[in-house]
Amino acid sequence: MAEIKQVMVPDIGGYKDVSIIEVMVKVGDTVKAEDNLVTLETDKAAMEVPSPYAGVIKEMKVKVGDKVSQGSLILLLESSDAAGVPQNSQPAVQPAPAPATAPVAAPVAVAPAVVQTSQPAAAGAPVKDTPPAPRPSGGLGAAPLLHSDPSAGKAHASPAIRRFARELGVQVAQVKGSGEKGRVTKDDVQLFVKAALAQPRGATGGNGLQVLAMPVVDFAKFGAIETRPLSRIKKISGANLHRNWVTIPHITQFDEADITEMDAFRKELGVEYAKQNIKITPLAFMVKAVVVALQQFPEFNASLDASGENLVFKQYFHIGVAVDTPDGLMVPVLRDVDKKGIVQIAKELGEISARAREKKITAAEMQGGCFTISSLGGIGGTAFTPIINAPELAILGVSKAIIKPMHQDDTFVARLMLPLSLSYDHRVIDGAAAARFIVFLSQVLADTRRLAL
């Protein structure tokens, strides 16, 4: 049978004339037992008064700003739960685990005092026939902490608002309060979320990048257009390139290697191995020379671990080679290059680049690289700034070798000069180390006997 019940302020640890800072319900609302009804606040803490019964709110007896003490009538409720909650029982408020350092003014939950009337709802006005029974709450100091929000002690917001904010993933401390004494209101949290959603894609707060949104341009306004989707490879590699470009501090060091002798030797080998269908390009020498340089400078054959605080030095020498395919860039990896000769490397390079162009490279074949070479030498250009293939620490860009006049022994001589562009992760590699690396690499390429060292 429905009954009208009076819900009163419970034992609040002896505090008197405590402000009501929030009223969560209104007449006509249906509440469940333990739904919060009002929030009270002293100068030390905020506390919520949960409903002891399920039912419908019939009359509000308080409003925001009212001062109440233990026993003050909060509201009348038509209970749909005849059994209700025993007067002195602890409400089933589940306190969240307390933060390691509990904020001084952390909100607490208290049980309401309830007066149950014996009058049926139809009989009209409720009758207060028993005094409010104080619940065995430990009062403000002993009550459990309700929230683990680390901002709880700083921002001025009721527990309900904190919970609302938490549900939306908002830290109350970040929200500017527009309420009394700078209190954060529900509207403030909603405005905060709206503002966050309105930020451009890719923009983040805190330590992230704050970038302008890309302009949305109607290209068709300026002429005929055709829209084609990016290839799957470009979508995947694009995301990786973007991450690497914006998260790694790149520096690119340039040099030129005199490969006159090397190229003469390469041509000799080329004639010899053409019968076996092995094409020997300058790249095979570069792959080998890079490994010799990596052995000399182990820092370049390393990666940062996930913590970013340790360098992982690799004892193996797997070299990635960027291959231009009709669908986009792929980087298959040649394994254990230190154990292979130029001809073997050239053979594998031919095979792996052909398979990449036929889309026959597996994901496993593109993993485990220590260092990448990107060669545009077969196409042209004088230099470029390759993007590091993280978690590797450096990448070598190779451009087209051309014959140049070089000054030697008081005269100019024609030499075949190979442009090199070494991009490196400046968090790990110093400029001097990079210069030493590229100079050493140039020396190895200039004197192929060094490949055997």
Restricted to residues 226-255, the positions that interact with ligand CAO (CB under 6 A) are none
Residue 327 within binding range of ligand CAO, rule CB under 6 A? no
Q: Which is nearer to ligand CAO, 75 or 416 (CB)?
A: 416
Q: Which stretch binds ligand CAO (CB under 6 A): 137-145, 197-205, 229-237, 373-381?
A: 373-381
What are the tokens at 159?
């527990």
What are the tokens at 401?
């070798």
Tell me 133's DSSP state: P
**Closest-approach residue to ligand CAO (CB):** 377
Among 23, 145, 321, 333, binds ligand CAO (CB under 6 A): 321
What are the tokens at 166?
């938490």
Among 353, 421, 442, 448, binds ligand CAO (CB under 6 A): 353
* C-beta neighbour count of 241 within 10 angstroms: 16
- Spell out the residues 6+ positions from residue 187 whose beta carbon is closer than 8 angstroms to its own: 178
Q: Which is nearer to ligand CAO, 103 or 282 (CB)?
A: 282
Restricted to residues 252-291, the positions that interact with ligand CAO (CB under 6 A) are 281-283
Q: In whole angstroms, how close is the CB of 272 to ligand CAO at the nearest point?
A: 14
Q: Which stretch binds ligand CAO (CB under 6 A): 204-212, 225-233, 393-401, 407-415?
A: 393-401
- CB contact at 8 A, 333 and 365: yes
| C-alpha to C-alpha distance for 442 and 446, rounded to whole angstroms | 6
Among 386, 422, 424, 434, binds ligand CAO (CB under 6 A): 386
| C-alpha to C-alpha distance for 118 and 128, rounded to whole angstroms | 9
Residue with tokens 């030390």: 44
Angle, vertex CA 38, rays to CA 31 and CA 12, nearest 5: 120
Q: In whole angstroms, how close is the CB of 401 to ligand CAO at the nearest point?
A: 4
Q: In whole angstroms, how close is the CB of 447 to ligand CAO at the nearest point?
A: 18
Q: In whole angstroms, how close is the CB of 332 to ligand CAO at the nearest point?
A: 9
Residue 58 within binding range of ligand CAO, rule CB under 6 A? no
Closest to 257 measured CA to CA, from 231, 226, 289 = 289
Give the amino acid at 265: F
Q: In whole angstroms, how close is the CB of 349 to ligand CAO at the nearest point?
A: 6
Q: In whole angstroms, how close is the CB of 35 to ligand CAO at the nearest point?
A: 60
Q: Which is nearer to ligand CAO, 193 or 366 (CB)?
A: 366
Residue 320 within binding range of ligand CAO, rule CB under 6 A? no
Among 262, 292, 398, 428, binds ligand CAO (CB under 6 A): 398
- Spell out the residues 6+ positions from residue 309 whose beta carbon is closer than 8 angstroms to its own: none
Q: What count of Cα atoms within 13 Å lies in the side-chain half-sphere of residue 400?
A: 7
Q: Which is nearer to ligand CAO, 78 or 324 (CB)?
A: 324
Q: In whole angstroms, how close is the CB of 271 to ligand CAO at the nearest point?
A: 11
- CB contact at 8 A, 6 and 72: no
Q: Which is nearer to ligand CAO, 174 or 281 (CB)?
A: 281
Catalytic residues: 426
Determine the size of the site formed for ligand CAO (CB under 6 A): 20
Residue 329 within binding range of ligand CAO, rule CB under 6 A? yes
Restricted to residues 411-430, the positions that interact with ligand CAO (CB under 6 A) are 418
Among 287, 289, 337, 376, binds ligand CAO (CB under 6 A): 376
| C-alpha to C-alpha distance for 244 and 249, rounded to whole angstroms | 9
- CB contact at 8 A, 393 and 226: no
- Spell out the residues 6+ positions from residue 242 whose beta carbon is closer than 8 angstroms to its own: none
Radius of gyration of the chain (CA): 37
β-partners of residue 415 are 404
Among 65, 120, 368, 378, binds ligand CAO (CB under 6 A): 378
Residue 401 within binding range of ligand CAO, rule CB under 6 A? yes
* C-beta neighbour count of 287 within 10 angstroms: 25
| C-alpha to C-alpha distance for 219 and 15, rounded to whole angstroms | 68
Q: Which stretch binds ligand CAO (CB under 6 A): 1-9, 25-33, 72-80, 371-379?
A: 371-379
- CB contact at 8 A, 84 and 114: yes
Please give, one letter per residue, the 3-state secondary structure of 414-429: EEEEEEEEEEEECCCC
Q: In whole angstroms, how close is the CB of 234 to ligand CAO at the nearest point?
A: 12
Among 4, 11, 377, 429, binds ligand CAO (CB under 6 A): 377
Interface residues with ligand CAO (CB under 6 A)?
281-283, 321-324, 329, 349, 353, 374-378, 386, 398, 400-401, 418
